[in-house]
Chains A and B, each alone.
Chain A
C-alpha cells in the first residue's frame, strides 16, 4: 500500500509572491508579460512531477501595476499553450463565477480539459472589488453573499453541462473543482462543491481545524471527506544555509516598493493608512469583523490575524506581509522547509501545498532542485507520475454520470465513464 503522499502545485504568480520579486537581482522584471515565462515554469513543474500549475486571475488591471508586474494573461489561453508542450502536469485556471457566462465557461474549460486529456481544474472565485465589476457593466461590487449565491448557481450549471456532454469528453470525467475563499460563505461553497481547497492558513492548529471542518462540511453534503484535498498557500524563501535564506528574505523586504506595500495593505484592510503612524499599531477600532468586510474577506482575515497575534507597528506589518497576499511564508534551508511541510502534513493541517515561490523562476528552480528531492527522500512526494489526469494525481475519483445530474456518485479513479 502506497503511503499517503503530498500534493504540490506551483502558483505562477507573475514575478513571484513578494512585492519586490521583480526587482530581485538576476530577475527579468518583465518576464511575466511573456508566454515563455509560464511555459518554462510549467516544464520545470512537470519534470518534478508536481500535481499542477495554478494561475490566479482577476479580470481587471491591477491598480498598483506601476510598482509591480501583475497577472496579464487570460488563464485558459496560457494553459492551452502549456497543454501543447507538456504531457502530465495538471492545469488549474482561475475563472470568475461572477463575470462569466456559464454556458461559455463550461464549453471553454470543458474543451480545455478534453484537449489536455483530462488535466484541468477550475478554481472558482467570485472576484472582489468594484473595479472588476465596472468592466462588466456593474456600478459596483455585488454584495458578498450574493456573489456566493451566484457562484453556487453558476457552478451547478457548469457541472451539469460537463456531466451531460456527448462530445469532446474528458478522460477525467470533468475538470476538478477548486475553491480558494476562506470566508464563511466561501467555506459553505467549498463544502458543497470543492475537490481542492486553496486555503490561506497561517497557524498549524487553526489549519488542522479548518481541514477537519471542511471535511465534515463535505460529509454534510453527502460527500466523502477524502473527496476534498486541502492545499494551503505556502510562500517559500530558500537558502543553502539559514543565514543565506534570511538574507534573501531581507533583500526582498528591502526591494519592496513602499508605495506598493502601503496601497496594497490599504486595499486589504478596506481603509486608508495614509494618516496612520508608522511606529504605532493600527488602531483596533478601525478593524471590523471579517464577516462584515467587503472585498476579499480571506485576505482581510489574514491581515487581521497577524495584527491580533503580533500587534505589530504599521512599519513592521508592512515588512511582515512584504507585499505578498498574506499566505504563510517559510524561510530556511531545503531541509527546514521540508521539515515544516512534513509537520503540517503529518499533523493533518494539509494534504499538500499550493507553493508560491518568492521569486520566479529562481525561487521555484530552488524548490524543485532542493526541496522536492528532500521530500522524495522522506517518501512524502512521488518521484514520477503514477497517472495521466489531474484527478489521478490528486487521488480523486472520476465522477460517474448518472441520469439525473444532481444525483452524482463516484467510481474508482481511472474507471470508465458511463
Chain B
C-alpha cells in the first residue's frame, strides 16, 4: 500500500531541459495538464519544487495556488526553505493555500538561512546551525497553525460575534533565531509539514516535528529503522510520520516494481520524479491510472 506524490517544477516555456534525478521543468500550461492528469490517475498529490538545476524555477507557493484551480482532491505540497521567509509569512502563505484547496496543502521545508526581516532582530545574531534553525522554524509553524482553530468561526449575526476570539491562542515564541508573537490572522487546520534534508536536520528532530520525511536516494536504505529509533520516547508512533522515497521513473513505469521497492524499505509513499517531459509524464500517469485507487497517506 503505497501513496504517490508526483514532482513538478515550472519554468519558462523556452527554458526547460532535463537533469537526471529531476523532473523536466514545464511551462505553466503543461503543469496544469499534468495536474489534471494526476487527478484523473488518482495519485495522492503533487509536489511543486522551488528550484531545479540549470533553470530559474517559478515560486512554488504561487504555482501551487494557481494549480489549486485544477488540483481537485490532490494534496499539494510546496517546496521552500527558511531562507528569505520570516516564519509568520510562510505560515500564512501555506495556511492560505491550505484553506483555498479544501485543506489539502503542505510544505516541504528545506534547511536554509534566515531572512532580512528576522535576521535584523534575531535573538542570537551569532546562531548559524541550519538544523537548529529548521527545528525552531518547524516549532513556530506548528504553533502558528494551532493558534486559530476553524472552530472559532462563529458568524453569529444576531449576537454580533463573527469569531470567537477566546479560542484563539497567541504564539509567544521567543527562541534563538526568531521571536514571533502570533497568532495567525486566519483560521486553519494544520497543513502537512514535510522535512527534507534529514541529514542536516537529524532524525530526532524530523521524527519529533514532521508529518512526512522526504528521502533522497541515498537516504532510503535503513530510513525506517532510523525513524523508529528516533521516535522512542517521543510519544509519537511510526504511523505519525510517513516516509516518502524519491524514485525516478521513465515513460514506462512498472508500478509493481515501484511498490515492491517501497515495501522493501518500509516506505509509506513514493515521491515520483518523471525524468522525461510532458508526454512521458502523462504516459506514466496513464499507467498509474490503470491501478486500483492509490491510497491516501494522511
Taken together as a complex, chains A and B put the C-alpha atoms of A357 and B84 apart, in Å, by 36
A61 and B148 contact, CB distance less than 8 A: yes
Q: Which of A45-53, A132-140, A269-277 lies on the face that meets chain B?
A: A132-140
A33 and B186 contact, CB distance less than 8 A: yes
Contact A100 to B89, CB < 8 A, known contacts A84-B66, A168-B58: yes
B185 and A59 contact, CB distance less than 8 A: yes
Taken together as a complex, chains A and B put the C-alpha atoms of A35 and B103 apart, in Å, by 12
Chain A residues near B123 (CB, 8 Å)?
A: 137
A187 located at the interface, meaning its Cβ lies under 8 Å from any Cβ of chain B in the complex? no
B115 and A78 contact, CB distance less than 8 A: no
14 contacting pairs across A/B (C-beta < 8 A): A35-B68, A61-B168, A66-B165, A67-B161, A68-B162, A73-B100, A80-B65, A84-B70, A98-B117, A99-B88, A115-B28, A115-B58, A135-B88, A136-B180
Taken together as a complex, chains A and B put the C-alpha atoms of A101 and B118 apart, in Å, by 9
Chain A residues near B88 (CB, 8 Å)?
A: 59, 99, 135-136
Chain B residues near A136 (CB, 8 Å)?
A: 86, 88, 117-118, 121, 180
A332 located at the interface, meaning its Cβ lies under 8 Å from any Cβ of chain B in the complex? no
Q: Chain A interface (Cβ within 8 Å of chain B)?
A: 22-23, 27-30, 33-35, 58-62, 65-74, 76-78, 80-81, 83-85, 98-104, 107-108, 111-112, 114-115, 131, 134-138, 166-168, 257, 259-260
Number of A-B contacts (CB under 8 A): 173
B65 and A101 contact, CB distance less than 8 A: no
Q: Chain B interface (Cβ within 8 Å of chain A)?
A: 10-12, 15, 28, 32, 55-56, 58-59, 61-63, 65-70, 84-86, 88-89, 92-93, 96-97, 99-100, 115-118, 120-123, 148, 153, 155-157, 160-165, 168, 178-187
A23 and B160 contact, CB distance less than 8 A: yes
Taken together as a complex, chains A and B put the C-alpha atoms of A5 and B143 apart, in Å, by 49
Chain A residues near B84 (CB, 8 Å)?
A: 101, 103-104, 107
- The distance from the CB of A91 to the nearest CB of chain B, in whole angstroms, is 11
Taken together as a complex, chains A and B put the C-alpha atoms of A84 and B69 apart, in Å, by 6
Contact A76 to B65, CB < 8 A, known contacts A167-B55, A168-B12, A257-B160: yes
Chain B residues near A70 (CB, 8 Å)?
A: 185
Chain B residues near A85 (CB, 8 Å)?
A: 69
Pick the contact of B85 from A28, A80, A98, A101 — CB < 8 Å?
A101
Pick the contact of B187 from A33, A35, A99, A257 — CB < 8 Å?
A33
Taken together as a complex, chains A and B put the C-alpha atoms of A102 and B68 apart, in Å, by 26
Taken together as a complex, chains A and B put the C-alpha atoms of A22 and B155 apart, in Å, by 8
Taken together as a complex, chains A and B put the C-alpha atoms of A409 and B187 apart, in Å, by 45
Chain B residues near A78 (CB, 8 Å)?
A: 65, 96, 100
A137 and B96 contact, CB distance less than 8 A: no
Nearest-neighbor residue (CB-CB) of A95 within chain B:
B89
Chain A residues near B12 (CB, 8 Å)?
A: 167-168
